[in-house]
Amino acid sequence: MINVTKTFLPPLEEYNIQLQRAWNKEWLTNRGELVLELEEKLKKYLNISNIIATNNGTVPLQIALKLLGKQGEIITTPFSYAATSAAIVWENCTPVFVDIHPEYLTIDETKIENAITDKTTAILATHVFGNPCNVEAIENLAKKYNLKVIYDAAHAFGVTYKDKSIFDYGDISTCSFHATKLFHTGEGGAMFTNNTELHHKLFYSHNFGHKTALTFHGLGINAKMSELQAALGICVLSYMNNIISQRKKVVDFYNTHLNLNKIQILKIRENSNWNYSYYPVIFNSEKDLLNIESKLNENKIFPRRYFYPSLNTIEYTKGEEMPISESIAARILCLPLYVGLSNEELLNIVSLINLNL
């Protein structure tokens, strides 16, 4: 069976070595030495100056919206995972959708200005499949209208734009370290900001608001990463160069062997160093997608309709019609992409697709 993804697992003995450190310290959470070590190693690997490791990738979005959303209108994309819009609604803000670019699949920055009202407090945009948004245009609009910018960079680990980490853009960026991501801690995530005051707020917000054991800076929740998660992250991080190179080989195989005259693939934004996080293909119609998906499933190959549905169509968002996002969501399929896919398996996948296009 070939699934859309497969979690990369380092040798168990390497994980046990890191776990033993936690056992020896008898310290499993509350920012032990493994979490601190992972943060330092990630700062070096990503060439960034700050990071706050968290227990998953969704809570950072909620914290960011709690601090910057002010229960106002949040301009956002309809083409993302449900967590993006759910976090907005969860924090008592109102999602205001703006349609997407038909090739980059990120929010269409040329349509943002028309969606801004006196109730708008922030822009929450997603670097879709690790493909950067037009960060310059979004920053200019934010400055013009005094808005905050939050980036859902769940897929964007290791991505750079103009030789700068994608996490360095926006007021706050967030990332997911879920087991399905190319870098992972099993379950986990992180949040980033270059603003010292905001970093302070993010930090105490992810630790119940604590100043000391008995005093508090303000309101907070529990978003701390455990030592068990950090132990896995330390192990996985040492394999990142191999993980990315292996994923690149899979992407190159698809690009070379798929009939790209009959399907659309993701256009990577110029000046970006992409991370090969997903391989989405867009068919001419939903009927074509369903036919291909059925043929693959018959051969025990299970791609994923991702992202589907368009978030503006979910009941709790009550969004306006978004023609491009709705069309793309109905026709997009992410193909299997992970370390360990053989050329024989890949050839079977592309042959089935090409034969049935």
The set of catalytic residues is: 181
Q: Is the peptide bond before 307 cis (omega within 30 degrees of 0)?
A: yes
Closest CA to 126 of 79, 193, 187: 79
- Enumerate residues 6+ apart whose C-beta is below 8 A from 16: none
DSSP one-letter code for 167: G
- Identify whether the C-beta of residue 83 lies closer than 8 Å to the C-beta of residue 58: yes
Q: Please count the CA atoms within 13 angstroms of the CA of 178 that sit on its side-chain side.
A: 17
SS3 category, 121: strand
Which amino acid, 13?
A: E
Nearest Cα neighbor of 336 from 327, 345, 344, 328 is: 345
- Distance of alpha carbon 27 from the chain centroid: 29
C-alpha Rg value of the chain to the nearest Å: 20
